[in-house]
Amino acid sequence: MLYLTIIGAVFLAWIIVVTLFTPAVPYHLEKRINPEDAHFIKVLESNCQARLLPGNSIEILTDGKAFYPAMLDAIASARESISMECYIFKRGDIGDRFIRALSERARAGVRVTIVLDFIGSFSAWSQAATALTEAGCRVERYQAMHWYRLARLNNRTHRELLVVDGRVAFAGGAGVADWWWKPARTRWWRPVGGRTAWRDMMARIEGPLVADIQGVIAENWIECCGEILTGHEVYKPPQPAGESQAFAVRSSPSDRITASRVLFQTLVESARDRLVIATPYFLPDRMLRRGLLRTAKRGVQITVIVPGEHTDQKWVRLASRRLYGPLLRDGVRIFEYDAGMTHVKALIVDGLWSVIGTTNVDNRSFEHNDEVNLVVRDAKVASRVMVDLEADIARSREIVADGWRARPLWEKLVGTVAWILERQQ
């Protein structure tokens, strides 16, 4: 028994050391490149292993009151296939609507394929999956807890995707839960709401990009059950639907270098005029902070929008605020959203490139999770996203250096301890 205890203690210590103290990758650009050049496109395509596809229609849907009805309408119109991947799927007013809509289509003969993360959608297995499978939906758990998967337990699918009939897709930061639909109650152990429903955005996509998004869902379907989706009802020939150039950047932690991390570093360090970042969890690692500072020192206007007091992760906010000092000193403007919880994940570069997806500016998204980002090269789409972000800024409180330095002593002390979250969150 003593030997087993010693072995267990050594194993636990090893996990802590590997998790918290693995040397960071020193990300930086060999040389700065122009986001307006064709060479910039080639760099992103090559490093992110994605294709920039023309002919897409990208519609930005603001908040749950816009994107949930659009998603449910698309599901109701399905005639052949529905593919869905969720980190969060929870019962409630909106969750039950999705269950009814998906079940009705499955009973009508539509092939419904759903991947739910085992941790993020844990309650769904007793509350939702049974109803869906009884209706004929095919539901699989991503990274269920098995002894032979313990080494990958920290790897979750953080993707939030829906594809209908291989023609229409939805991508963005929102899962299926009531807190995106209506003001949520604050629970004593975890505030999940505020005065309003969570702020977020999703994109409705038509055009050639839809097949690539379908491929992202298919990737984790294979991971779950080994089946390679091949049906004609799933993959459709590309048909132009709009004028936007876009690609889907999928990111998985098969190695420490992930596509999302490369994407963000490249965009941050290439900005020439203005960079806007919206993220619910702002814990950039040292190399990304250095990239932000280098960009700010070149005179680029950098704006960061993060949650304020209504955040659902108080400890993360404390760890995040600890990092503000050098950024504020070099001209980065940081706004804390006061109207409620903001879950928006977006990045705008020079009014041309837009990133909308699931990646947070933190180590968990960059190194541990399966993520997906819609990357659009279209000034009209960037302008549309900026309308929402400017409205968010108007409902935010700007953090200034003097105020940050004068924050309470307890916050400074707790923030210092919370640095551990920089490696895990």
Give the residue from 182, 177, 170, 148 showing the smallest Cα distance to 217: 170
Q: What is the rounded distance in angstroms from the CA atom of residue 68 to the CA atom of residue 181?
A: 8
Give the global pTM. Answer: 0.91
- pLDDT number for residue 363: 85
The 10s digit of each residue's pLDDT in 7-17 is 656 555 555 55
Bridge-based pairing of strands 161-164 and 138-142 is unpaired
* Sites in the chain below the pLDDT cut of 50: 188-191, 424-425
Contact 86, 358 (CB under 8 A): no
| Fold of the 25-51+248-424 domain | Endonuclease; Chain A (3.30.870)
For residue 76, what are its two tokens? Answer: 């109701």
Same CATH topology for 25-51+248-424 and 56-225?
A: yes
Q: Angle 259-270/286-297 helices, nearest 10 degrees?
A: 20
pLDDT score, position 19:
54
Whole-number Å distance between alpha carbons of 425 and 258: 16
Can you give the pLDDT at residue 157?
86
The number of CA neighbours under 13 Å toward the Cβ of 127 is 13
Report the distance separating Cα 396 and Cα 31, nearest Å: 35
Say if residue 419 is exposed, middle or buried (CB neighbours under 10 Å; 0-12, 13-18, 19+).
middle
Q: What fold characterizes domain 56-225?
A: Endonuclease; Chain A (3.30.870)
pLDDT for the residue numbered 186: 55
Q: Who contacts 397 (Cβ-Cβ below 8 Å, separation ≥6)?
A: 308, 335, 336, 338
Domain locations along the chain: 25-51+248-424, 56-225
**189 phi/psi in degrees, rounded to 5:** -95, -15
